[in-house]
Structure 1
Amino acid sequence: MKFSAILIGLAAGLASALLFAGLILQSPTAVGLSLAAPIPILIASLGWGSRIGFIAALTASIALAGVTGFAGSGLILFATMALPSAIVGHLAGLARPKENPEPGVEGPLAYDWYPLDRILFAIAGIASLACLFIGWMFGYDAAEIGPELATALGEQMGATVDPAMQQQVQTLARLIVQMVPFIQPALLVITLVAGLHLAAILTRLSGRLDRPRDDIPSSATLPGFAVSIFALAVAGCFVPGTLSVIASVVAGAFGTAFTLVGLASLHRRTRGAKQRALLLIGAYGAIVLLTFPLLAATAIGIFETARSAARDRAPR
């Protein structure tokens, strides 16, 4: 391992820590930058190797703990962003020589690279584990957090003396608490997927990315057994207690992964269409404004995954 590569890992870790620091320090102008924290670590891993990516992850966590003076902040970064980014970068860089390469094919094209469906599955699984760890670390308890959140919202909205408004605030607080196990892993999946995509673009522009460009709309899917995992998670959401929270986290992560597969399918199916740009803009606009198009994308992602799995199992 070259010393210059180690310096790259250290610099990437410091950059990631600075990006994430706004979230820990609750700076309103820097919270958005925290979503970019995985990018430096992913660039280090994709361009300089997995070991450099893990060095960057450790550096980021240690640096953040030093800046904030709170070891827990470094642990939060390590569990939610740094370590997942290093693992995802490692998976994206895995390759093995093809068993029967075509004559004249050399370099990266002579290798089978770790498939996108496995990478997306790993991201969903890692996001689930990371959110469950953070929930355990902070002692997430919906029954306890709900009343506290209702009280805080009531004070901000001036609902402390109006019984009707208090009831509305309590209902809103319960809804927010119930949605957190879904939203947190969903946001983490999107952050890691977007970070990997942007990091790959930047690393390829620098000429350091060996992995060939993936045709994402055509190859984005999930392994067939992910459908069963998602179905069990959705069913578990209706079981009371801690199991419901765990199932909600898994459902949020894998549901988001299926939604991304569905959106990739939309990009593939509209290729060659004269009004492709208008169709995509309309689809994403409907997703932002409404809810059911997002559910439709999730259903399409499940369908595409099941169909791909059936095609792979079919005798040839």
Structure 2
Amino acid sequence: MTPSKLLIAIAAGAASALLFAGVVLQSGSAVTLALAAPIPIFIASLGWGSLAGGLAAVIAAVVVGAISGAVSGGILMFAAIALPAAIAGHLAGLAKPAPELEAAASRPFPSRAGNTQPTLIWFPVEHILFAIALMATLACLGLGWYFGYDIAALKPEIVAALRQGDSSSQISGLELDAVAGLLLSLVPLVQPAVLTLTLAVGLYLAAWITRISDRLQRPRDDLPTAVHLPPVALVLFAGALAASFVGGTVELVALVVCGAFGMAFTLVGLARLHARTRGRSNRGLLLFVAYAAIVILSFPLIVFTAFGIYDTLQRMRPSPPA
């Protein structure tokens, strides 16, 4: 590794750690900065290679562990943000020669005409999105096991926090217990969904920044038409949805899978919206209304999740004979 790449990796790791520090230090005002924590690692990986991205991930985890004074802080950073960002950045940089170029290279007398750039086939966007959802699932499951996620044990702490925040004391103990139970039951579903969204949006923003600096080798993907999910994602999502009614540990694991891949299908549905509204005079208004409804009401996410599932089902159908 050249000195310049080493410096970039160190700077990216330190920047990512500082953005994530609010989580481990339990600073409410800085928690939102953690959503941008994967972006420096993505930039290092996309612009300076997978080795720089991997080193930035390790440095970020070490710095977070040093800041928090606990190994658990570094593990949280590495498993949830740093490692998935390094892997996703590596996948986005993978490419191979097109089949016709491989065939031409195997000929005994390859053509010498032209100095054109070779055509490359880049790692598909749909597989990158699938990998992000899978990594978010594994990260949340691993961290839940490591930190010992137990609703019964955590409920008294949540109730105490809610009671402390309710200065008027107009809410009864039973109501606080019900609210705490609802919040804890939603964590296995919401946490992987947020992590999937954070990694996917972070990769998009990092690619945009790296492209502006002319460091990104991958050509620009037409995301509205390129964002899909492979059929195996639908199989995992359907199986997890069925298993979520079992109860116990199986239910918690299934909810994590549903949260991560549900958000991935939602992103596919939003991509379909962008693709279908192209060329329309009211496109800007339609997109604004759709995103405003999601931000304000939240439940429209389910509609776009259904669109993403429908898109995957459509792609699973055999193409009609020519």
Specify which of 180, 184, 187 is matched with residue 191 of structure 2.
184
2: CA distance, partners of 1:262 / 1:178: 26
1: CA distance, partners of 2:247 / 2:69: 38
Q: What SS does the aligned partner of 1:100 have?
A: helix
Q: 1:291 to 1:35 in 2, by over 3 A?
A: closer
In the alignment, which residue of structure 2 is the partner of 1:30?
30
In the alignment, which residue of structure 1 is the partner of 2:159?
150
Letter in 2 for 1:12: A
Q: What SS does the aligned partner of 2:160 have?
A: helix
In the alignment, which residue of structure 1 is the partner of 2:92?
92
Specify which of 146, 161, 168 is matched with residue 137 of structure 1.
146
1: CA distance, partners of 2:31 / 2:295: 21
Q: Note the C-alpha offset of 1:223.
A: 0.1
Q: 1:106 to 1:235 in 2, by over 3 A?
A: farther
Q: C-alpha root-mean-square deviation of aligned residues, in Å? A: 1.9
2: CA distance, partners of 1:176 / 1:72: 23
Q: Note the C-alpha offset of 1:147.
A: 3.4
Q: Note the C-alpha offset of 1:150.
A: 2.0
In the alignment, which residue of structure 2 is the partner of 1:193?
200
2: CA distance, partners of 1:315 / 1:55: 49
Specify which of 229, 234, 238 is matched with residue 227 of structure 1.
234
In the alignment, which residue of structure 2 is the partner of 1:120?
129
In the alignment, which residue of structure 2 is the partner of 1:263?
270
What does the per-residue CA deviation read over 1:199-253, in whole Å, with 9 as the maximum and x for residues that have no partner? 0001111111110000000010100121111011111111111111011001000
Q: 1:247 to 1:104 in 2, by over 3 A?
A: farther
Q: What SS does the aligned partner of 1:213 have?
A: coil
Q: 1:4 to 1:314 in 2, by over 3 A?
A: farther
Q: 1:234 to 1:290 in 2, by over 3 A?
A: same
Give aligned-pair identity as a percent: 51
Stretch of structure 1 that moved more, 261-270 or 92-101: 92-101
In the alignment, which residue of structure 2 is the partner of 1:305?
312
Q: Does 1:294 align with 2:309?
A: no
CA contact (8 A) 1:61 1:78 kept: yes
Structure 2 residue runs of 5 or longer lacking an equivalent are: 105-112
Letter in 1 for 2:142: F
2: CA distance, partners of 1:60 / 1:196: 17
Q: What SS does the aligned partner of 1:29 have?
A: helix
Stretch of structure 1 that moved more, 79-88 or 98-107: 98-107
What does the per-residue CA deviation read over 1:37-84, in whole Å, with 9 as the maximum and x for residues that have no partner? 101100000011111100000011111212222121111100000000
Stretch of structure 1 that moved more, 287-296 or 82-91: 287-296
Q: Note the C-alpha offset of 1:133.
A: 1.1
Specify which of 235, 244, 254 is matched with residue 251 of structure 2.
244
User: TM-score with structure 2 length normalisation?
Assistant: 0.92
In the alignment, which residue of structure 2 is the partner of 1:55?
55
Q: 1:115 to 1:106 in 2, by over 3 A?
A: farther
Q: 1:226 to 1:307 in 2, by over 3 A?
A: same
Q: Note the C-alpha offset of 1:193.
A: 0.5
Q: 1:237 to 1:203 in 2, by over 3 A?
A: same
2: CA distance, partners of 1:165 / 1:67: 39
Structure 1 residue runs of 5 or longer lacking an equivalent are: none
1: CA distance, partners of 2:185 / 2:115: 53
In the alignment, which residue of structure 2 is the partner of 1:44?
44
User: TM-score with structure 1 length normalisation?
Assistant: 0.94
1: CA distance, partners of 2:116 / 2:260: 38
